[in-house]
Amino acid sequence: MLRYLVPAVVACLLLGNDPIPNWGETTDAGNLHGTWYGVSIEDSYGDKVDDLKAVLIFENNGNFTLKRRGKIILQGTFTTDTSKEPKTIDLTITGPDASVREQYKGKVLGVYQLERDTLKWCHADPVLQPGPRGHLPARPPKITPTNIGECCFTFKRLPP
Protein backbone atom coordinates (compact mmCIF):
# COMPACT_ATOMS: atom_id res chain seq x y z
CA MET A 1 0.00 0.00 0.00
CA LEU A 2 2.82 2.40 0.92
CA ARG A 3 4.48 1.90 -2.46
CA TYR A 4 1.37 3.42 -4.13
CA LEU A 5 0.94 6.26 -1.61
CA VAL A 6 4.42 7.76 -1.95
CA PRO A 7 4.28 8.18 -5.77
CA ALA A 8 0.77 9.65 -5.44
CA VAL A 9 1.95 12.27 -2.91
CA VAL A 10 4.97 13.15 -5.06
CA ALA A 11 2.73 13.52 -8.14
CA CYS A 12 0.36 15.84 -6.24
CA LEU A 13 3.25 18.00 -5.09
CA LEU A 14 4.68 18.24 -8.60
CA LEU A 15 1.36 18.76 -10.38
CA GLY A 16 -0.48 21.01 -7.90
CA ASN A 17 -3.42 23.07 -9.16
CA ASP A 18 -1.89 26.49 -8.40
CA PRO A 19 1.82 26.48 -9.11
CA ILE A 20 3.51 29.52 -7.59
CA PRO A 21 5.94 31.09 -10.04
CA ASN A 22 9.56 31.83 -9.21
CA TRP A 23 9.31 35.45 -8.08
CA GLY A 24 13.01 35.76 -7.24
CA GLU A 25 14.75 36.07 -3.92
CA THR A 26 13.52 39.56 -3.04
CA THR A 27 9.82 38.84 -3.07
CA ASP A 28 7.19 37.34 -0.80
CA ALA A 29 4.53 37.18 -3.52
CA GLY A 30 4.17 33.41 -3.33
CA ASN A 31 3.63 33.59 0.43
CA LEU A 32 0.95 36.28 0.02
CA HIS A 33 -0.96 34.22 -2.56
CA GLY A 34 -4.47 33.50 -1.33
CA THR A 35 -7.51 35.14 0.24
CA TRP A 36 -7.24 37.33 3.33
CA TYR A 37 -10.06 38.63 5.56
CA GLY A 38 -9.79 42.14 7.04
CA VAL A 39 -9.66 41.93 10.82
CA SER A 40 -8.94 45.58 11.70
CA ILE A 41 -7.63 48.95 10.55
CA GLU A 42 -5.81 51.51 12.65
CA ASP A 43 -4.90 55.09 11.74
CA SER A 44 -2.27 57.52 13.01
CA TYR A 45 -4.72 59.00 15.53
CA GLY A 46 -5.03 55.65 17.31
CA ASP A 47 -8.55 55.04 16.02
CA LYS A 48 -9.22 51.37 15.34
CA VAL A 49 -12.07 49.66 13.52
CA ASP A 50 -12.57 45.91 13.88
CA ASP A 51 -14.27 43.54 11.43
CA LEU A 52 -13.71 45.45 8.20
CA LYS A 53 -15.86 43.12 6.11
CA ALA A 54 -13.05 43.39 3.57
CA VAL A 55 -11.42 40.63 1.56
CA LEU A 56 -7.99 40.96 -0.05
CA ILE A 57 -7.06 38.46 -2.75
CA PHE A 58 -3.47 38.04 -3.97
CA GLU A 59 -3.31 35.92 -7.12
CA ASN A 60 -0.23 33.94 -8.11
CA ASN A 61 0.12 36.00 -11.31
CA GLY A 62 0.87 39.25 -9.44
CA ASN A 63 -2.69 40.61 -9.46
CA PHE A 64 -4.68 41.66 -6.41
CA THR A 65 -8.29 42.60 -5.63
CA LEU A 66 -9.61 44.33 -2.51
CA LYS A 67 -13.34 43.95 -1.90
CA ARG A 68 -15.61 45.32 0.79
CA ARG A 69 -19.07 43.86 1.22
CA GLY A 70 -18.71 42.21 -2.18
CA LYS A 71 -17.86 45.43 -4.05
CA ILE A 72 -14.42 45.87 -5.65
CA ILE A 73 -12.66 48.81 -4.00
CA LEU A 74 -9.18 48.42 -5.52
CA GLN A 75 -7.60 46.13 -8.06
CA GLY A 76 -4.34 45.97 -9.92
CA THR A 77 -0.90 44.42 -9.63
CA PHE A 78 1.56 44.15 -6.77
CA THR A 79 5.27 43.72 -6.20
CA THR A 80 7.15 43.02 -2.98
CA ASP A 81 10.71 43.46 -1.83
CA THR A 82 11.86 41.35 1.12
CA SER A 83 15.41 42.72 1.05
CA LYS A 84 14.23 45.91 2.78
CA GLU A 85 13.32 46.33 6.44
CA PRO A 86 10.43 46.53 6.83
CA LYS A 87 9.43 44.56 3.74
CA THR A 88 7.82 46.71 1.04
CA ILE A 89 4.76 46.18 -1.11
CA ASP A 90 3.82 48.39 -4.05
CA LEU A 91 0.36 48.28 -5.54
CA THR A 92 -0.25 49.58 -9.06
CA ILE A 93 -3.91 50.53 -9.22
CA THR A 94 -5.75 49.62 -12.43
CA GLY A 95 -9.34 49.76 -11.22
CA PRO A 96 -12.10 49.45 -10.60
CA ASP A 97 -12.42 52.76 -12.48
CA ALA A 98 -10.54 55.91 -13.52
CA SER A 99 -11.61 57.93 -10.47
CA VAL A 100 -10.01 55.39 -8.12
CA ARG A 101 -6.81 55.37 -10.19
CA GLU A 102 -6.72 59.18 -10.02
CA GLN A 103 -7.42 59.24 -6.27
CA TYR A 104 -4.44 56.98 -5.61
CA LYS A 105 -2.28 58.48 -8.38
CA GLY A 106 -2.06 54.98 -9.83
CA LYS A 107 0.15 53.65 -7.02
CA VAL A 108 0.09 52.76 -3.33
CA LEU A 109 3.44 52.40 -1.55
CA GLY A 110 3.37 50.30 1.59
CA VAL A 111 5.19 48.13 4.07
CA TYR A 112 4.08 44.79 5.43
CA GLN A 113 4.76 42.03 7.90
CA LEU A 114 3.77 38.42 7.30
CA GLU A 115 3.60 35.97 10.19
CA ARG A 116 1.98 32.62 9.45
CA ASP A 117 -1.68 33.42 8.76
CA THR A 118 -1.51 37.13 9.75
CA LEU A 119 -0.68 39.96 7.34
CA LYS A 120 -0.11 43.51 8.55
CA TRP A 121 -0.04 46.07 5.74
CA CYS A 122 0.49 49.82 6.17
CA HIS A 123 0.27 52.57 3.59
CA ALA A 124 -0.18 56.32 3.41
CA ASP A 125 -3.64 57.14 2.11
CA PRO A 126 -3.52 60.12 -0.28
CA VAL A 127 -7.01 61.22 0.80
CA LEU A 128 -5.93 61.50 4.45
CA GLN A 129 -2.54 63.12 3.78
CA PRO A 130 -2.09 66.73 4.85
CA GLY A 131 -0.97 69.37 2.38
CA PRO A 132 -1.60 69.79 -1.34
CA ARG A 133 -3.23 67.05 -3.34
CA GLY A 134 -1.71 65.55 -6.46
CA HIS A 135 1.42 63.89 -5.11
CA LEU A 136 2.16 60.28 -4.25
CA PRO A 137 2.42 59.92 -0.46
CA ALA A 138 5.66 58.61 0.99
CA ARG A 139 6.01 55.00 2.08
CA PRO A 140 5.41 54.53 5.84
CA PRO A 141 8.67 53.91 7.72
CA LYS A 142 7.31 51.08 9.89
CA ILE A 143 4.42 48.70 10.54
CA THR A 144 2.56 51.13 12.80
CA PRO A 145 0.73 54.29 11.71
CA THR A 146 3.00 57.06 12.97
CA ASN A 147 2.47 59.90 10.47
CA ILE A 148 -0.77 61.66 9.64
CA GLY A 149 -2.62 59.83 6.88
CA GLU A 150 -1.07 56.43 7.48
CA CYS A 151 -3.32 53.40 7.91
CA CYS A 152 -2.43 49.87 8.99
CA PHE A 153 -4.59 46.89 8.16
CA THR A 154 -4.51 43.47 9.78
CA PHE A 155 -5.68 40.52 7.67
CA LYS A 156 -6.08 36.82 8.48
CA ARG A 157 -5.58 34.21 5.77
CA LEU A 158 -8.72 32.28 4.88
CA PRO A 159 -8.41 28.54 4.26
CA PRO A 160 -8.34 27.58 0.55
**So where are the chain's domains?**
22-157
pTM of the model: 0.75
The CATH class given to the 22-157 domain equals: mainly beta
Task: Provide the Cα torsion 57, 79, 111, 20; round to 10°.
Answer: 60
Contact between 33 and 53 (Cβ < 8 Å)? no
Kindly compute the dihedral angle of the four CA atoms of residues 69, 71, 73, 76, in this order, to the nearest 10 degrees.
Answer: 120
Angle at 20 between CA 19 and CA 21, to 5 degrees: 110
Q: Is the dihedral angle over the CA atoms 31, 78, 124, 39 positive or is it negative?
A: negative
Alpha helix (H) residue ranges in 43-114 = 98-103
Mean pLDDT over 102-124 rounds to 89
Q: Count CB neighbours of 113 within 10 A.
A: 15
> Which tens digits make up the pLDDT trace of 9-22?
223 322 333 333 33
pLDDT: which is higher, 139 or 35: 35
What is residue 131's predicted lDDT score, i.e. its pLDDT? Answer: 57
pLDDT at 129: 60
- Mean pLDDT for 58-70 is 93
Q: Which pLDDT score, from 0 to 100, does residue 9 have?
A: 29
Q: What are the tens digits of pLDDT across the range 21-42?
A: 333 345 566 789 999 999 999 9
Q: Is the pLDDT of residue 83 over 90?
A: yes
Question: Higher-confidence residue: 41 or 126?
Answer: 41
Q: Which residue has the higher pLDDT, 106 or 93?
A: 93
Answer whether residue 47 shows pLDDT above 80: yes
Higher pLDDT, 24 or 71: 71
